[in-house]
Structure 1
Amino acid sequence: MTQNNIKRWHYHDLDRRFWIDAIRTVVPHIPAWFLSLSRFIGAVICFFYMRRERQAIMSNMKRITAKSWAKRVWLTISLLHNYAKQLVSFAIHDKFSDVYWQQSVTTEGGLHEKIDQALQKGKGLLLNSAHLGNWEIGKHILPMRSTKVNMIMVPSENSDMEEYWNEFRAQSGLHIIDLKESEFAALEILGALRNNEIVLIHGDRVVNHACIQVPFFGQKAYFPTGPIELVRITGAPFMSVFFLIDKKDKYTVILDDSLQLEWSGNRKADVEKNVAQMARMYEQYITQYPTQWYAFYDFWQLPPALNDAQLVSSQERR
């Protein structure tokens, strides 16, 4: 199997509509203690059944935490347990009101004000996140009802499940910009920001040749340049947002606007410097919440979205 054909977590055989339908049907009717026990048992089963994902998480944990093998086993099971919480929350999110979800979240002070102030500039807002925590519940928390929200997505190979997930997202008014299906995706993204809309993007996944290597936990790893390029081209405000599970199974919203992106006029140097800044910010939060970073492949290897020929070609163009 070539590196380009490696299948990741969300392409797994267990990723089927049957399981999501089962969760949606059963979860609202079972006691909280039984749900908690079931999620943990499911995490343990996945730890033993999903050998490839287990090895990748253990490898990532070694770089992030430098813990012993035994402690990394527990961290890996904890990560799978947290992912089960996220999956359940997403599967049933439309069965409860916004008020229900808002009561489950501790919101950072000034969250709404920061977003409103950013939109007042009239250049839209680029909300950057990562596969860290449960970003899917953001639609219930952030003040987006009066502003069109666009989510940049790359579809999985499981088209049936992708359509299923997007049905849920559309119910909350999210507009999906599909990077692979639309030939005009870039223009659509630029148009959204120019219309003073919100664009959601993940900065910890490489999906094409638009990427560079920057230091990450002591060794270089690939990160996409897209989020930084969008800011450079449009001048849109740039913030990062994370929805993290606390010890009481509630969510804490963190809106980070601390990145001071720098522009000298040297495009290549500016992009590299600012992507490195973004990676350092991710390090900060992943260090605090290592069991909520859902990277189910070895993050420091060549990304599954690329092959060697694509990477060499992209580097030659730069």
Structure 2
Amino acid sequence: MRMGFRDLGSSERSVRTGLWIARHMPPWAGYGLGQLVSRVIAWRKPEIFGIVRANLSHVVGPAVGDDKLDDIARRVFAHAGQCYYDFYHALDRPLHVYRDLVHISDSFIERVKSAMSDGCGVLVLGLHMSNFDLGMLSLCAHGLEMQALSLANPEAGFRLQNRLRAQEGLEVTAISAESLRTAIRRLKRGGLVMTGIDRPVPEDEALVPFFGQPAYLPLGPARLALMTDALAFVGGCRYHPDTGYALHFTGPIDMLHSGDRRQDILLGARRLAAATEEYVRAHPEQWLMFHPVWPDPSTR
């Protein structure tokens, strides 16, 4: 079967190809291959390139010209190649090694552990920024046991990635009624749950303002925080060529309990979106989001 651009990262074949490359190529070659693939994608401009470009146009605004926008989109694919290589290359190492691969401040780790020891749940809402997979493993390496809520009905490639994450100590559960009940119990008992904050959910009943436009951001994270009174942190991974990967966190984000459940959820989602914007705005070339976050204006 031929693998197209849409299969990048989502098909089992693409994941297995990435694993082979990471195990048999040195970093300079793996990164170079990622740069080459990104240039081919920018030249061919498949549908997935258009999706990334459209998302970025909301982030950087109309002042950025077409050529600059094309280059930022190309850099997204180049950075994705680097992140996939580094993640696959790091697998099967002792858990403590991940602490050195992604920096997390001691103050955040202590804050989370203190809250959990007091019986308060912690909800970490992660962006698809830079090497978020390595970031999750680094949290585990700091002795934090967590449940990670992943995509419902994931494609074959994502299922394989979830198995790889689970092998490294993560409890990964696809979103379902049962896994959500488990997450709620865990948070109410002072546990740690992690899920995505920027993966679009077009099926939700309301859109959330994001960079000034209604977006498909999920309402579930705000709903989960309100149901459990957990401390909600927004977290994003960033890469710097001199210092490597680092996880940064914002929060806890205040959730309002006014008695109007729907309005509380919408307000909570807006507050989470505002925190999310800061990470994406700072490094749009590291926002690895390959699905439409905003409605297509041509279909309205």
Cα distance, 1:123 vs structure 2: 3.1
Structure 2 residue 185 is matched with structure 1 residue 173: no
Q: CA RMSD in A?
A: 2.7
The TM-score, its normalising length taken from structure 1, stands at: 0.82
Partner SS for 1:142: helix
Distance (whole Å) between structure 2 residues aligned to residue 19 and residue 163 of structure 1: 12
Distance (whole Å) between structure 2 residues aligned to residue 55 and residue 141 of structure 1: 32
1:59 matched residue in structure 2? 54
Distance (whole Å) between structure 2 residues aligned to residue 202 and residue 45 of structure 1: 29
2:68 matched residue in structure 1? 71
Deviation >6 Å, runs of 4+: none
Alpha carbons of structure 1 residues 121 and 169: separation in structure 2 relative to 1, 3 Å:
same
Q: Give the letter aligned to residue 19 of structure 2.
A: R
1:279 matched residue in structure 2? 273
2:295 matched residue in structure 1? 301
- Of 166-175 and 78-87, deviating more is 166-175
1:119 matched residue in structure 2? 116
Q: Give the letter aligned to residue 115 of structure 2.
A: A
Cα distance, 1:62 vs structure 2: 1.8
Question: Is contact 1:177–1:188 with CA below 8 Å preserved after alignment?
Answer: no
1:257 matched residue in structure 2? 251
1:5 matched residue in structure 2? none
Say which structure, 1 or 2, has more relative contact order (CA 8 Å, 6+ apart). Answer: 1
Alpha carbons of structure 1 residues 254 and 291: separation in structure 2 relative to 1, 3 Å:
same
Alpha carbons of structure 1 residues 285 and 69: separation in structure 2 relative to 1, 3 Å:
same
Distance (whole Å) between structure 2 residues aligned to residue 251 and residue 34 of structure 1: 19
Cα distance, 1:49 vs structure 2: 4.2
Distance (whole Å) between structure 2 residues aligned to residue 138 and residue 59 of structure 1: 27
Distance (whole Å) between structure 1 residues aligned to residue 259 and residue 184 of structure 2: 20
Distance (whole Å) between structure 1 residues aligned to residue 47 and residue 78 of structure 2: 17
Q: How does 1:52-201 map to 2 (within 5 A)?
A: 52-66=47-61, 67-142=64-139, 146-155=143-152, 158-159=155-156, 161-179=157-175, 182-201=176-195
Distance (whole Å) between structure 2 residues aligned to residue 24 and residue 294 of structure 1: 19
Alpha carbons of structure 1 residues 25 and 145: separation in structure 2 relative to 1, 3 Å:
same
Q: How does 1:180-259 map to 2 (within 5 A)?
A: 182-207=176-201, 209-248=203-242, 250-259=244-253
Distance (whole Å) between structure 2 residues aligned to residue 184 and residue 208 of structure 1: 22
Cα distance, 1:287 vs structure 2: 0.6
Alpha carbons of structure 1 residues 58 and 13: separation in structure 2 relative to 1, 3 Å:
closer
Alpha carbons of structure 1 residues 188 and 15: separation in structure 2 relative to 1, 3 Å:
closer
- How many residues in Structure 1 have an aligned counterpart in Structure 2? 293
Alpha carbons of structure 1 residues 86 and 71: separation in structure 2 relative to 1, 3 Å:
same
Q: Deviations over 1:219-271 (max 9, x none)?
A: 11122211111121111111122121113371021021152222222212221
Cα distance, 1:278 vs structure 2: 0.9
Structure 1 unaligned segments of length 5 or more: list them: 1-8, 303-307, 309-318
Structure 2 unaligned segments of length 5 or more: list them: none
Distance (whole Å) between structure 2 residues aligned to residue 128 and residue 121 of structure 1: 21
